[in-house]
Amino acid sequence: MAHGLQIHLHLDRGVPVLELTGDLDLTTADELRVHGRELVDAALDRTRSDAAGVSEPPAVVVLDASGVTFVDSSGLGAVVSILKRALAHRAGFSIAGSGPQLRARLAQTGLDRVVALHASTGEAVVAAIGPAADPNRRIPEGGHRAGRGDGAG
């Protein structure tokens, strides 16, 4: 069953995205625990140092699980270790692109109520930093954004 795990880190609009591809199981969980934590540490330290002198970007780590083909309880434990590492940095944590198997495991443990789940990495990044600024977007007259009109907005 073990086909290995690839772990890649990239920044999407300043948000660290830890991209996983392959099986997340007993044979690969330690790799995520060790290598993934190192990447999270480096990414969060870098985004904070890049923001020196300006307002700090939201510290959020997105775990892109769209390439995960299998997950067992050991793999889920490794995901929890990444969550804990993000929390140790006082950062948020979300999972993007989780398949049915990972979502089921998260639901079984109640983690789906603790971790934000998003359909895609792009959706997770927008949730973290807000929609990209559109210079052509106009704010309605009076300076308020359009809402429902009942104060719920």
Q: Which long-range contacts (CB under 8 A, 24 or more apart) does 125-129 make?
A: 125/12, 125/13, 125/15, 125/17, 125/62, 127/94, 128/15, 128/58, 128/60, 128/62, 128/92, 128/94, 129/13, 129/14, 129/15, 129/57, 129/58, 129/60
Q: Taking the complete model, does pTM exceed 0.75, yes or no?
A: yes
Would you give per-residue pLDDT tens digits along the chain (153 residues)?
446 899 999 999 889 999 999 999 999 999 999 998 999 888 888 766 665 555 455 589 999 999 999 999 999 999 999 999 999 988 999 999 999 999 999 999 999 999 999 999 999 999 998 886 444 444 344 443 333 344 444
What integer pLDDT is reported at residue 82 of this predicted model? Answer: 95
Domains and CATH numbers, the chain: 5-47+56-129 (3.30.750.24)
